[in-house]
Structure 1
Amino acid sequence: MKITGIEVKHYLLPLDPPFKAAWDPQPRKKFASTVVYVHTDSGITGIGSGDLMMGLSGHEHLFIGQDPFNIERHNQVISNIDFHYGRCWPLDLALWDLMGKATNQPVYKLLGAKNEKILAYASTGEIVTPEVRAERALQFIEQGFKAMKIRFHHTDVRDDIKVVEEVRKAVGDKLEIMVDANQGWKMPWDTERTWDLKKATSVARELEKLDVFWLEEPLACHEFKNMAKLRDKVEIRIAGGEMNRNWYDFREMNRNNSLDVYQPDVALTGGITGVKKIAELVQGQGAWFSPHTWTNGIGVLGNLHLALGVSNCPYLEFPYDPPAWSNERRDFVQVDKLMIDSDGYLQASQKPGLGFELDQQALEKYEIKHFYVGETV
């Protein structure tokens, strides 16, 4: 089998009403999904998605004529492209999807198949009042979720803590609560100061009183030693690493014992091939691997398959904050929208590859021929 072509297409879903992401002061009126197709001479096509693929153009020839199963070679080439031009890791997902289809196996079985399902936590994305967040938390319980994540981004962190207090009061011990401080990285226009170690410690101690399961990204993503100091100061688990792009960042975090929970995303950092190595590294030292998944449904699936194959963590992130961030919006390029079962588990399909089917009607309706980055907002 040989790769005969690589095709990248862009799709843009209008959002009405807009999605008011906690990390973005500008309400998002559109949602972009880029899909990469890897065609072969056997007629099998692998499909991936989850990032904009802005760096691939002009480098497709590096894969043409190659055996798609030479995944380590392809991953190195994608890494080189990432260094020079930009992230193209959905191509790695497409290659794994292709290998699964060629062997008639779901990807998680190719990766080790430790589990067939995993508990998913509802990962919220909006800043809302304490009362609204508590009401939505109760709805999560009715749907079967056993855990949820609350994002911080109020001007005054005390207002963020009030949200957690209200949710804890409403749900009691029926939900585990995670908190994302959103201090690990910045949007392009954000020049505000991030938390320092003292502030992160103070917030962590307040969240301990509310029995928060983990505190995510309380410090900038490069502060490896301060993360370790924070871990030593508090009892709450410290999570992070979702936007660290280089494998050696995780080597240094692991060396410094920076985190309890490592969160690289296969669609953004290293693909399934690279993140599998990171997961094995950090789990070998006793930490958890629970990937960031906030891209689109295909990105969620890529992370789900790897987590089922190798992860020891009890939970996987499930981007979900209806009505503004619904399964229908997140998964608009797919026929089947992802959802947990009544017991809170997210289960991978038994179909070969990543186990999804593209919604051809949606693709025809939302395809854009001339894509530029500004259209993502």
Structure 2
Amino acid sequence: MKITSIEIKQYLKPLEPPFKAAWDPQPRKNFASTVVYVHTDEGITGVGSGDLLMGLEGHENLFIGHDPFAIERHAQVIDNINFHYGRCWPLDLALWDLMGKATGQPVYKLLGGKSNKILAYASTGEIVTPEERAERALRFVDQGFKAMKIRFHHEDVKDDIKVVEAVRKAVGDKLEIMVDANQGWKMPWDVECTWDLKMAFQVAKELEQLNVFWLEEPLPSHQFELMAKLRDMAGIRIAGGEMNRNWYDFREMNKVNALDVYQPDVALSGGITQVKKIAELVQGSGAWFSPHTWSNGIGLLANLHLAAAVSHCPYLEFPYDPPAWSTDRRDYIQKEHLMIDSEGYLVAPEKPGLGIELDEEALKKYEINHFYVGESSTVIV
């Protein structure tokens, strides 16, 4: 088997009403998805998505003509592209999808098959009043969730803590609560100061009193030694690493025991190939691996396969904050929208590959760009 062509298609779904993401100053009026299709001479196509694939166009020929099962070789090339241009890790996801289809196995079995399911925590994205967040939390309980995550982004962190207090009062011990401080990285326009170690510790102490399961991204993502100090000082778990895009960041974090929970996302930070190695590294040192999954439904699905296969952590992130962030919006290019079962588990599909079923009507409706490279032709539509 060899790769004969690679297609990149872009889709854009208007959002009305807009999604008011906590980390954005302006509401999001559209949601973009970039999908990569890897075709082979045996008629099998692998599909991946979850990032913009900036930098892949012009480098597709580095893969065409090669065996798709040469995954370590391909991961090295994608890592080289990552250094020079941008994150193209959805191509790695497409290759794993292809390998699963070629062998007739779901990807989680190819990765180790520890389990086919994992408890999901509802990961919220909006800043709303304490009362509204408490009401949404109670709906999560009714749906079967066992945990949720609350975003911090008020000007005064005391207002963020009031939200956690309201949720804890409303749900009691029916939900574990995670908190995302969103201090690890910045959007391009953000020039405000991030928390320092003392602020992060003060917040951690407050959250410990509210029995918070973990505090995520409380410090900038490059401050490995300060994260380690915070981890030693705090009485709750410290999580992070969702946007550290290089594998060696995780090697250095692991050396200093920076985190209790490591969160590399296969769509953003190394693909399934490299993130599996990171998971094995940190879990071998006694930490947890629980990937970030805020891309789209395909990115979530890929992270699910890896987490179910290898993770020791009891929970996986499930981006979900209806009505503003619903499965219809997150998974709009997919025929089947991902949802937990009645017991709160997210179950990996048993279909070969990642188990992606694309919605052809949605693809036709929302497609905005198409780039194709084959063995003897290049076409831009």
Is the TM value for this pair above 0.5? yes
- How far apart, CA to CA, are the structure 2 residues paired with 1:175 and 1:60? 46
Stretches (4+) displaced over 4 A: none
Partner of 1:51: 51
Partner of 1:374: none
**SS state at 1:212 partner:** coil
Unmatched runs of 5 consecutive residues or more in structure 1: 372-377
- How far apart, CA to CA, are the structure 2 residues paired with 1:294 and 1:247? 19
- How far apart, CA to CA, are the structure 2 residues paired with 1:265 and 1:42? 30
- How far apart, CA to CA, are the structure 2 residues paired with 1:40 and 1:369? 22
State the Cα deviation string for residues 97-147 of structure 1 (Å, max 9, x = none): 000000000000000010111000000000000000000000000000000
Superposition deviation, residue 214 in structure 1: 0.1
Partner of 2:271: 271
Partner of 1:284: 284
- How far apart, CA to CA, are the structure 1 residues paired with 2:55 and 2:296? 19
- How far apart, CA to CA, are the structure 1 residues paired with 2:28 and 2:44? 36
Partner of 2:67: 67
- How far apart, CA to CA, are the structure 1 residues paired with 2:350 and 2:95? 18
> Is contact 2:334–2:357 with CA below 8 Å preserved after alignment?
yes
Partner of 1:125: 125
Partner of 1:178: 178
- How far apart, CA to CA, are the structure 2 residues paired with 1:298 and 1:45? 15
- How far apart, CA to CA, are the structure 1 residues paired with 2:251 and 2:18? 39
Matching residue's letter, 1:116: N
C-alpha root-mean-square deviation of aligned residues, in Å?
A: 0.7
Partner of 1:299: 299
Superposition deviation, residue 360 in structure 1: 0.4
Superposition deviation, residue 369 in structure 1: 2.4
- How far apart, CA to CA, are the structure 1 residues paired with 2:173 and 2:329? 30
**SS state at 1:369 partner:** strand
**SS state at 2:11 partner:** strand
**SS state at 1:318 partner:** strand
- How far apart, CA to CA, are the structure 1 residues paired with 2:53 and 2:39? 17
**SS state at 2:316 partner:** strand
Partner of 2:343: 343
Partner of 2:375: none
- How far apart, CA to CA, are the structure 2 residues paired with 1:92 and 1:39? 13
> Is contact 2:8–2:370 with CA below 8 Å preserved after alignment?
no
State the Cα deviation string for residues 7-31 of structure 1 (Å, max 9, x = none): 0000000000000000001100000
- How far apart, CA to CA, are the structure 2 residues paired with 1:297 and 1:258? 30
Partner of 2:224: 224
Q: For residues 120-269 of structure 1, what are the structure 2 equivalents within 5 Å?
A: 120-269=120-269
- How far apart, CA to CA, are the structure 2 residues paired with 1:95 and 1:369? 22
Aligned length in residues: 371
Is 2:314 aligned against 1:311? no
- How far apart, CA to CA, are the structure 2 residues paired with 1:369 and 1:82? 22
- How far apart, CA to CA, are the structure 1 residues paired with 2:364 and 2:255? 48
- How far apart, CA to CA, are the structure 2 residues paired with 1:18 and 1:370? 26
- How far apart, CA to CA, are the structure 1 residues paired with 2:302 and 2:150? 23
Superposition deviation, residue 370 in structure 1: 7.6
State the Cα deviation string for residues 308-367 of structure 1 (Å, max 9, x = none): 111100000000000000000000000000000010000011000000210000000000
- How far apart, CA to CA, are the structure 1 residues paired with 2:318 and 2:107? 19
Matching residue's letter, 1:72: E
Is 2:98 aligned against 1:102? no
> Is contact 2:133–2:163 with CA below 8 Å preserved after alignment?
yes
- How far apart, CA to CA, are the structure 1 residues paired with 2:218 and 2:155? 15
- How far apart, CA to CA, are the structure 1 residues paired with 2:181 and 2:326? 22
State the Cα deviation string for residues 186-205 of structure 1 (Å, max 9, x = none): 00000000000000000000
State the Cα deviation string for residues 24-50 of structure 1 (Å, max 9, x = none): 011000000000000000000000000
Matching residue's letter, 1:29: K
> Is contact 2:307–2:316 with CA below 8 Å preserved after alignment?
yes
Unmatched runs of 5 consecutive residues or more in structure 2: 372-381
- How far apart, CA to CA, are the structure 2 residues paired with 1:253 and 1:369? 39
Superposition deviation, residue 231 in structure 1: 0.8
- How far apart, CA to CA, are the structure 2 residues paired with 1:98 and 1:166? 46
Matching residue's letter, 2:303: N
**Length-normalised TM-score, structure 2:** 0.97
Matching residue's letter, 1:69: F
> Is contact 2:33–2:50 with CA below 8 Å preserved after alignment?
yes
**SS state at 1:295 partner:** coil
- The percentage of counterpart residues that share the same residue type is 81
Partner of 1:358: 358
- How far apart, CA to CA, are the structure 1 residues paired with 2:245 and 2:172? 37
Is 2:19 aligned against 1:15? no
Matching residue's letter, 2:111: L
- How far apart, CA to CA, are the structure 1 residues paired with 2:148 and 2:55? 34
> Is contact 2:9–2:370 with CA below 8 Å preserved after alignment?
no
Matching residue's letter, 1:245: R
